[in-house]
Amino acid sequence: MKDILHTIIASIVDEPNEVKITEDEQNGVILFTIKVAKSDMGRVIGKEGKIIRSIRNVMKIPAMKQNKKVQVALAEDTEA
């Protein structure tokens, strides 16, 4: 699933080399945390959050096949 998510995100952003995804699983829930370049954050979120919402919906499909739940979060860059 991580590979699928990475492919989707890398195709959206201008700097695909900056895409970092961490995966953590607890109690049957898989949490993917996405970190992208600051300049690409708006592209991943989309207007009114439509893009990230769509990504979350797409990621539910492989999760359902594995009887798991999935959460997709964006990591905010704390560097100023």
Kindly state the tokens that stand for 40. 């690409």
Distance between CA atoms of residues 14 and 32, nearest Å: 21
**Residue 70: per-residue pLDDT:** 95
Model confidence pLDDT, tens digit, residues 41-58: 999 999 999 999 999 999
pLDDT in tens, the chain (80 residues): 899 999 999 999 999 999 999 999 988 899 999 999 999 999 999 999 999 999 999 999 988 998 889 999 999 764 54
Residue 27 has a pLDDT of 86
Token pair listed for 56: 């979350």
Write down the pLDDT at residue 79.
53
Structural domains in the chain?
A: 2-74 (3.30.300.20)
Task: Classify the C-alpha dihedral 78-56-45-35 as positive or negative.
Answer: positive
Q: Is 20 helix (H, G, I), strand (E, B) or coil?
A: strand
Burial 38-56 (b: 16+ CB within 10 A, else e): eebbeebbeeeeebbeebe
